[in-house]
Amino acid sequence: MPILPTHWGNLPPLFARERLHPAAIAQADRMLAEAGGKSEGKWCVAFSGGADSLALLLTVWTLWPERRSELCVLHFNHRLRGAESEADAVFCAEVCGEMGVEFHIGEWSDAKAGASEAEAREARLAFFETEMEAVGSRVLWTGHQKDDVAETLLMRIARGSGSAGLAAPRPVQTRADGRILLRPLLTLRKAEIVAALQKAGVTWREDASNAVGDFFRNRVRRDVMPPWRAAAGNDALGGAALTRELLDEDDAALNVWLAELLPEGGYDGDALDVRALEGKPRALWRRALRRWRPLAALGRAGFEEVLALCARGSGRTSAGEGVVEIGAGILRYMEKGGVGRGGWTEARLSVGTVLFLPDGGVLTMRVVAFTAELRRRIFAGQVDMAREAFLAEEPAAFCVRPWRTGDRYRPLGAPGSAALQDLFVNRKIPAARRGQLPVVIGEDGRILWVPGFPPAEESKTTSDSVTGLHLTYETGTCTVRL
């Protein structure tokens, strides 16, 4: 049974060019003009069989008839909905067969029940990239529309995204590898797309899983969007689309400003000259640091600490598997020493430094005055030795590392030093936990503190102590309690 009541070649456009996003249309026209009417390579179109992607395919088909022989339709079967997924694939193949366009299908070979939305998207995009490479295409059309803009905005606000993330999905997205994603339907509401298909007598596939709250986007679409739009009392989707456009403009402006201050090729090394950023808004610093290769994969907490370090203008802090320091306007990244127990390496701890350990633990040090009340609390044993220690030591840069075979430690009150391994055993600290505990080493090589034990006997607070150091330790993801 044909999907359209008329031949594909006689189908009028579903939407006039003026109703589509001008940036996407202009980019397509520009590519054709630059190539003398023949865009280099094929145009790939992502096609799920749903209303949006079918409307997209018909839009490209009708507005650029000269490109019909160079279209390549891509369908990815996630294999998450059983027979329904198979029916989607059959439908897409039939559509492309009637249109006479090239059709490529892929399947998620290792799909598993309960797969996350991110995993499914990653598998789908990997298929698109493979097929585009195979056919020599650098252009991919996708069917995102105005409802998707609002959903994405709400989802990313919940995750704490900045302007770059909140400006997605963009009408034209140029990737680092030179591929271009075009989204001409961003100016249209889902309801408008469905109405246009119905008017044309076109059938499409419905994904019943969209009504189930398994994925975050589905929950936002089902549970958040309807009351949000009703509460707004106006065109909330239009407002969200405008917000996306304005954020995109701001994001582009910040990128241009940053490019004027720092050279594009300066982010790949272990040193970054940030003198040009002095006195500039924090947003530019954040953007530059995110582009710097050593910090590209750094978690949010560690990244914020590096940003705070830059605001101070001097010092150093732990950054993942290395250390970042700043001085004279130059940021430097240094790998830590050889890998030790627990999968981490040496770092330096100084006053004001915050060390983020590989298991998510946090170690800090600050100067403290030994007031009468503080001395009373220390002498009374009212100190949680798993979380803090007071040392009668002068400020210095201490080494922090995992324990090593042969380490000896004399905790407060002990008659002499003992093997740290024996102390772990006596305290019944699990072997897996030992390698995650930071061992603080003084400049003379003595162990000053290990969380879970009192501080070193030689560093104890006395009635004559005036100032010293306060070390604090917060456990990370490890669930073992001392």
Residue ranges of the binding site for ATP: 48-53
How far CA 382 is from CA of 137, 336, 388, in Å, comes to: 68, 35, 11
Residue 475 makes CB contacts below 8 A (sequence gap 6+) with 359, 360, 361, 481
Torsion sign across C-alpha atoms 367, 368, 370, 375: negative
DSSP conformation letters of 410-443 = -BTT-SS-EEHHHHHHHTT--HHHHTTS-EEE-T
Report the distance separating Cα 132 and Cα 74, nearest Å: 9
How far CA 63 is from CA of 36, 68, 146, 351, in Å, comes to: 17, 10, 20, 65
**How buried is residue 281: exposed, middle or buried, by Cβ count under 10 Å (0-12/13-18/19+)?**
exposed
Report the distance separating Cα 206 and Cα 87, nearest Å: 11
Q: Within a 10 A sphere around the Cβ of 90, how many other Cβ atoms?
A: 12
Selection from 72, 75, 71, 74 nearest residue 63 by Cα? 71
Binding-site residues, in ranges, read 48-53
Q: Are 429 and 403 in contact (CB under 8 A)?
A: no
Sheet holding 315-319, edge to edge: 271-273, 330-335, 322-327, 315-319
Residue 334 makes CB contacts below 8 A (sequence gap 6+) with 270, 322, 323, 324, 325
Sheet holding 447-449, edge to edge: 347-349, 398-401, 439-441, 447-449
Q: 98 φ, ψ to 5°?
A: -65, -35
Q: Within a 10 A sphere around the Cβ of 426, how many other Cβ atoms?
A: 9
Q: Which residues pair with 333 in a beta bridge?
A: 324
Report the distance separating Cα 212 and Cα 219, nearest Å: 8
Q: Are strands 139-141 and 439-441 parallel, antiparallel or unpaired?
A: unpaired
Report the distance separating Cα 228 and Cα 248, nearest Å: 23
Query: Where do we find the tokens 């009468």?
Result: 372
Residues of 204-232 as b/e, b for ≥16 C-beta within 10 angstroms?
A: bbebeeeeeeebbbbebbeeebeeebeee
Tokens of 72: 């390549």
Report the distance separating Cα 357 and Cα 294, nearest Å: 16
How far CA 432 is from CA of 342, 377, 435, in Å, comes to: 8, 32, 6
